[in-house]
C-alpha cells in the first residue's frame, strides 16, 4: 500500500493473507463466547468483553492483566470514565470495574439500555438509548442530565458531547447539558477535538465546526462515507469512503494531505495508522506500508496500537496481537 493514487488490489490482499503479511503474531487468546464490542483501550492494557459479560484486559505481550465479570448481554462498546470502565447492558444493568485491577466498583440495575457505543470525555460518560434520549453520568454512575430525542450517534469533544439524530447535530456542555449550538443536517460520522467538531454527512460532504460556537470552519465534498469511520489525531482528520478510500485532511482548513485506496471500506475509524476493513476475512491494513493482517473472522471495532503492537478482536471472541515491522533505515 502506498500514498496518493496507490491501489492495493484484492488479489494482492489475498496474497498478503496467504503469507500472513509482514507483521509477526505475538499472541492469540481465545474466549468461550463471541464479542460484539471489539477492544477498549486503557492506560495499561486493552479490554475485551464477550457477549456473556466476561471481561479480560490484555497487555501487548498477551499477558492477562486482569479479568472480571460484568453485566450481560454486552452489545455496545463500553467507555472509560476517569479510572472506571463503564459497561451498559441490554437488560438495563450497568457495571463498573477499576481499569487498573478489574475489581468491581459498582453495579446498577434498571438503568438506560444503550442504542450505540458509550462515549466519555474522561470526566463524564454519555449513553444514548434507541429512542435518541441521551444521558450523562459521572464516574459513580450518578445521573447528571438527560436530553430527549437528541440522537444515537455520539462523540465527546473537549468539554462537550456532540449528538446526531434525525433532526441534525447538537452540541451540549458535558457537565450541565446546556445546549451550545445545533446544525440541521444529520451526520453518519462524528469526531471531535478540544477545538473542533467534524461531521460526515450522508450527502458526501465533510463539515468542520468550531466546538464552542458551531461556526463553520471549512467544508469539503468527498463522496459517500463508510459510517462511523471519522477520527481526529493531532492535526489530521481521517475518514473512510464507501468505495474503499481512506482520506486524510488537515484539521486547520480541510486540505487533503493523503489518500489510500483499499480493497474494502473501513469498518471503524483508523487508529494508530491501522485501518480495520469490512469483510469476513477480518483484515487490517497498516497505512503507508505493505503490511496487512488477517484473522479469518470479521473484526469488531478499531485496532488498539501500543508499543508497536497491533491488537485486534474478531467477533468470535479471540484477541490477537501482531508486532509491526519498522521500515529499514
User: What is the number of residues in the chain?
Assistant: 329
State pTM to two decimals: 0.92
183 part of a folded domain: no
Task: Answer whether residue 188 is part of any domain.
Answer: no
The domain that holds 278 is classified in CATH as 2.40.10
pLDDT band, very low/low/confident/very high, at 16 (cuts 50, 70, 90) = very low
Residue 300 lies in a domain: yes
**pLDDT digit string (tens) for 277-309?**
999 999 999 999 999 999 999 999 999 999 999
Is residue 329 domain-resident? yes
Question: Has residue 13 been placed in a domain?
Answer: yes
- At residue 326 the predicted structure's pLDDT band, cuts being 50, 70 and 90, is confident
Residues 40 and 249: their CA atoms lie apart, in Å, by 26
Task: Reply yes or no on whether the pLDDT at 15 is more than 50.
Answer: no
111 assigned to some structural domain: no
Name the band, by pLDDT with cuts 50, 70 and 90, for residue 13: very low
Q: What is the pLDDT of residues 214-241, one digit of tens each?
A: 999 999 999 999 999 999 999 999 999 9
132-162 residue pLDDT tens = 999 999 999 999 999 999 999 999 999 999 9
Share of the chain above pLDDT 90, in %: 91
Model confidence at 131: pLDDT above 80: yes
Domain carrying residue 296: 1-30+272-329
Q: How far does Cα 184 stand from its chain's mean position? A: 25
Say yes or no to pLDDT of 23 above 80.
yes
Least confident of 4-18, 39-53, 180-194, 254-268: 4-18
Coil, helix or strand for 155? strand
**Other beta carbons less than 10 A from residue 223's beta carbon:** 12
Residue 14 predicted with pLDDT over 90: no
On average, the pLDDT of the chain sits at 93
Q: Is 161 contained in some domain?
A: no
Is residue 42 scored above 80 in pLDDT? yes
Q: Which residues contact 233 (CB under 8 A, 6 or more apart)?
A: 270
Q: How far apart are CA 283 and CA 266, in angstroms?
A: 10
Bridge pairing between strands 179-183 and 168-173: antiparallel
Range 198-210 average pLDDT: 97
Instruction: Establish if 9 belongs to a structural domain.
Output: yes
Cβ–Cβ under 8 Å, residues 239 and 225: yes
Q: What is the pLDDT of residues 44-66, one digit of tens each?
A: 999 999 999 999 999 999 999 99
**DSSP class per residue in 180-222:** EEEESS--SEEEE-SSEEEEE-TTSEEEEEETTT--EEEEEE-
89 Cβ partners below 8 Å, 6+ apart? Answer: 53, 70, 71, 72, 73, 74, 75, 95, 113, 114
Read off the pLDDT of residues 65-90 as tens digits, 9 standing for 90 and up.
999 999 999 999 999 999 999 999 99
Q: How many domains does the chain have?
A: 1
Residue 311 has pLDDT above 90, yes or no: yes
Amino acid at each position: 500500500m502506498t500514498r496518493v493514487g496507490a491501489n492495493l488490489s484484492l488479489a494482492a490482499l489475498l496474497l498478503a493473507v496467504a503469507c500472513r503479511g509482514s507483521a509477526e503474531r505475538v499472541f492469540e487468546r481465545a474466549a468461550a463466547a463471541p464479542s460484539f464490542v471489539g477492544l477498549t483501550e486503557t492506560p495499561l492494557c486493552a479490554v475485551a468483553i464477550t457477549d456473556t459479560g466476561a471481561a479480560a484486559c490484555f497487555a501487548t505481550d498477551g499477558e492477562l492483566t486482569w479479568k472480571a465479570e460484568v453485566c450481560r448481554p454486552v452489545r455496545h462498546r463500553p467507555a472509560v470514565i476517569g479510572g472506571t470502565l463503564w459497561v451498559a447492558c441490554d437488560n438495563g444493568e450497568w457495571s463498573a470495574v477499576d481499569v487498573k485491577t478489574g475489581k468491581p466498583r459498582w453495579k446498577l440495575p434498571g438503568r438506560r439500555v444503550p442504542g450505540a457505543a458509550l462515549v466519555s470525555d474522561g470526566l463524564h460518560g454519555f449513553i444514548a438509548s434507541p429512542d435518541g434520549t441521551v444521558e450523562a453520568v459521572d464516574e459513580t454512575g450518578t445521573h447528571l442530565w438527560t436530553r430527549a430525542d437528541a440522537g444515537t450517534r455520539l462523540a465527546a469533544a473537549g468539554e462537550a458531547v456532540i449528538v446526531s439524530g434525525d433532526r441534525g447535530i447538537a452540541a451540549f456542555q458535558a457537565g450541565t447539558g446546556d445546549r451550545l449550538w445545533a446544525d440541521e443536517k444529520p451526520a453518519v460520522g462524528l469526531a471531535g477535538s478540544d477545538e473542533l467538531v467534524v461531521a460526515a454527512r450522508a450527502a458526501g460532504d465533510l463539515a468542520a465546526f468550531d466546538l464552542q460556537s458551531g461556526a463553520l470552519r471549512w467544508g469539503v465534498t468527498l463522496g459517500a462515507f463508510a459510517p462511523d469511520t471519522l477520527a481526529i489525531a493531532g492535526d489530521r482528520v481521517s475518514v473512510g469512503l464507501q468505495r474503499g478510500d481512506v482520506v486524510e485532511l488537515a484539521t486547520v482548513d480541510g486540505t487533503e494531505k493523503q489518500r489510500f485506496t483499499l480493497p474494502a471500506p473501513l469498518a471503524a475509524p483508523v487508529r494508530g495508522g491501522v485501518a480495520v476493513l469490512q469483510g469476513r476475512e477480518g483484515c487490517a491494513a497498516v497505512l503507508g506500508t505493505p503490511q496487512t493482517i488477517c484473522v479469518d473472522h470479521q473484526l469488531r471495532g478499531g485496532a488498539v496500537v501500543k508499543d508497536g503492537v497491533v491488537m485486534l478482536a474478531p467477533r468470535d471472541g479471540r484477541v490477537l496481537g501482531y508486532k509491526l515491522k519498522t521500515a529499514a533505515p
